[in-house]
Chain A
Amino acid sequence: MAVPILKQGQTLIASIQAALTDTDLLELRDALLEQVGRYRSRGVIVDVTALDVMDSFSTRTLRDVAHMTRLRGAQTIIVGIQPEVAFAMAQFGLTLEGVPTKLDLEEGLDYLAGTAKPGSDG
């Protein structure tokens, strides 16, 4: 497994450490989906700070992670998109379509803590 997945309470945190191949990304998707069930997680944070590019494949795979985990009752958040990667995604015309994004891991954890509170608007 190229990407370590950390379990923190009801949240899974996947911190991408380096550029990933397509297979690495698919393995990450499958591992997250499996662990959401095993640990009854409510939130998933994928930290893409170390990702060198977001192309059509990684964008689609991360969208799939969000969609699949949502169907299993967990919300996925993408954090750490670097400014140059954001620049390239915009120029490319790639969107994460409804997948929440936060600046960094801390913001992502704050966001999940907020949405978990009863009565919050999420």
Chain B
Amino acid sequence: MGEGVRVEQESKVRVETEADIVLARQQGRAIARDLGFTLGNATLIATAISELARNIVQYATRGEVILKRIENGSQKGLVVIARDEGPGINDVRRAMEDGFSTSGRLGLGLPGVRRLMDEFNIHSEVGKGTTVTASMWKS
């Protein structure tokens, strides 16, 4: 997010169980629709949240997904922040590659989220945790 981005409202979903993954993505879709995103774009956002929340449950045990409405001049958008204090990621560059997985999965989650959203940032420190920030602007 650049300069002059105003944060409007926020909602937070605790993520610890599989049911929380579903809850977080449903909440994301509802907020996106409320903001006037098309059903297609709201589904992109919900899919991204599903991936990020699942990574939290799987690799960090628990964390949270924060959904914030953002505004930049006349543009409105939604930012998804997925945050945990889990083990962190050793090699973030590799984790962002299609097909890289330490758990024998598809390894498509993180690179997929980057493709789904307009802006994507990941910050991870081994032993401290991981924060992924991804936003989408209303076209």
Contact = CB atoms under 8 A, between A and B. Distances in A.
A60 B25 contact: no
A55 B18 contact: no
B116 A84 contact: no
A23 interface: yes
B18 A23 contact: yes
B51 interface: yes
Given A23-B18, A92-B47, A60 B105 contact: yes
The range of chain A's interface size is: 20 to 34
A21 B111 CA distance: 22
The range of chain B's interface size is: 20 to 34
Given A19-B26, A55-B51, A60-B106, A84 B18 contact: no
Best-buried of A55, A59, A83 by chain B (most CB within 10 Å):
A55
A39 interface: no
Given A22-B21, A55-B51, A85 B116 contact: no
B115 A57 contact: no
A88 B21 contact: no
B96 interface: no
B54 A57 contact: yes
Contact of B43 (A21, A57, A59, A84): A84
A19 B22 contact: yes
Contacts of B51: 55-56
A116 interface: no
Nearest to A82: B43
B44 interface: yes
Given A21-B22, A55-B50, A92 B116 contact: yes
A93 interface: yes
B88 interface: no
Nearest to B53: A55
A5 interface: no
30 contacts: A21-B21, A22-B18, A52-B25, A53-B43, A53-B47, A54-B47, A55-B51, A55-B54, A55-B109, A55-B112, A56-B105, A56-B106, A57-B105, A59-B106, A60-B105, A83-B40, A85-B43, A87-B40, A87-B44, A88-B40, A88-B46, A92-B44, A92-B47, A92-B112, A92-B115, A93-B98, A93-B108, A93-B111, A93-B112, A94-B112
